[in-house]
Amino acid sequence: SALVKKLFLQGKVVTINQEIDFALAEEIAMEYDVICELEEKIDVIEELLKEEEEDASTLKPRPPVVCVMGHVDHGKTSLLDAIRKENVISGEAGGITQHIGAYVVDIKGEKITFLDTPGHEAFTSMRMRGAMSTDIAILVVAADDGVMPQTVEAINHAKAAKIPIIVAINKIDKPSANIERVKQELTEYELIPEDWGGDTIFVPVSAHTKEGIGTLLEMILLTAEVGELKENPDRKARGLVIEARLDKGKGPIATLLVQKGTLKVGDHIAVGSSYGKVRAMTDDKARKIRSAGPSTPVEILGLDNVPNAGDIFVATDNDKDARRFAETFISEGRERLIEQTKAKLSLEDLFTQ
């Protein structure tokens, strides 16, 4: 009945025995799958990371963390580049920022942290582990192409994570652009523009001509303001791995997003199943820094191993705690794997008998 109701709300009237087409079935299944998996994983990890609730008086405003999503070739990378270039202060290392999978934009003193188009895999896993790794999703839809399968996937991901969606209708410079059609198509997914009586912000933009980029940034700040994003900067840091790699000379390098507290050089940390001490830290502009507060992406050196994108990191009091956390994470992970394998095997048994 939940499915019948869901379809009804999308304007599709079906009965309980009715066959629906494959694409629709897939879309629904995926959405439910993502939600179930999400809840299950959060349970385990949250249990592991249980901590006392922050006292409201310790909370201070923090920048929003924004993720750009959408169908391939609809202009996610171009849009991020356009935003970054608009914001580069002239003279800043030739305007070229180091690629660390995330960057911070400063608009008249207000910051926005952008996560660079993570693969869907990484995004899902990040959402699962961090529950609320991003505050706002920018859904990029090309005005000449309209809603495509990965657009729908992105909508489902954002909805499962319960984060607000801002629609950026891109490529409006193209002669074949049709903004109204995109708006129309998105109403099917309960994304209704404000001028049509809904509450979704739509911003027509062009990554090529930069038209609308300023408005998009304003809308992000506005949405962030409504969310009243706050965090306690005066505590041990906790956050997520955006990406990680092994450097031949420097060893494991991880890009972390600090979500709570302040991460400092010299801190002991556990990062998923890796651990170590922050030996060096750089910001998104490759500048050496000594500390980083909430919503700040940083690159760090000093881990014993390369962690996974989406892993949680926590700063600990000492080396022993960091190691214990990492070990718990490994054993939890292993147990889950065993459980999952068991579940999968029993399903297979069922079908082969």
Only segment of 57-65, 67-75, 270-278, 291-299 that touches ligand GDP (CB under 6 A): 67-75
Question: What residues are paired with 111 via a beta bridge?
Answer: 106
Give the Cβ contact number of residue 161 at 10 Å.
23
Only segment of 58-66, 73-81, 262-270, 272-280 that touches Mg ion (CB under 5 A): 73-81
Longest dimension (CA), the chain: 69
Question: Which residue of 6, 35, 37, 77 would you call a contact of Mg ion, by CB under 5 A?
Answer: 77
Report d(CA 138, CA 216) in Å as an integer.
9
Query: By C-beta, is 69 or 254 nearer to Mg ion?
Result: 69
Helix residue spans in the chain (DSSP H): 2-9, 22-48, 76-87, 120-130, 149-160, 179-187, 213-227, 319-352
Pick what 226 binds: Mg ion, ligand GDP, none; C-beta below 5 to 8 Å, kind-dependent. Answer: none
Report d(CA 179, CA 208) in Å as an integer.
16
For position 75 contacting ligand GDP by CB under 6 A, the verdict is: yes
Q: Is 295 left (phi over 0), alpha (psi -120 to 50) or beta?
A: left
Query: By C-beta, is 117 or 262 nearer to Mg ion?
Result: 117
Query: By C-beta, is 134 or 170 nearer to ligand GDP?
Result: 170
Pick what 316 binds: Mg ion, ligand GDP, none; C-beta below 5 to 8 Å, kind-dependent. Answer: none
Report d(CA 154, CA 31) in Å as an integer.
10
Closest CA to 49 of 297, 271, 319, 291: 271
Return the H-helix or E-strand segment holding 142: strand 136-142
Report d(CA 83, CA 172) in Å as an integer.
16
For position 285 contacting ligand GDP by CB under 6 A, the verdict is: no
Beta strand 165-170 with 136-142 is parallel
Binding-site residues sit at: 70-77, 116-120, 170-173
Question: Which residue of 62, 76, 84, 183 would you call a contact of ligand GDP, by CB under 6 A?
Answer: 76
Only segment of 75-83, 128-136, 233-241, 264-272 that touches Mg ion (CB under 5 A): 75-83
Query: By C-beta, is 118 or 272 nearer to ligand GDP?
Result: 118
For position 213 contacting ligand GDP by CB under 6 A, the verdict is: no
For position 72 contacting ligand GDP by CB under 6 A, the verdict is: yes
Report d(CA 124, CA 30) in Å as an integer.
12
For position 208 contacting ligand GDP by CB under 6 A, the verdict is: yes
Query: By C-beta, is 78 or 184 nearer to ligand GDP?
Result: 78
Closest CA to 131 of 100, 162, 110: 162
Residues 127-186 that bind ligand GDP (CB under 6 A): 170-171, 173-174
Shortest Cβ contact with Mg ion: which residue? 77
Contacts to Mg ion by CB under 5 A: 76-77
| Contacting positions for ligand GDP (CB under 6 A) | 70, 72-78, 117, 170-171, 173-174, 206-208
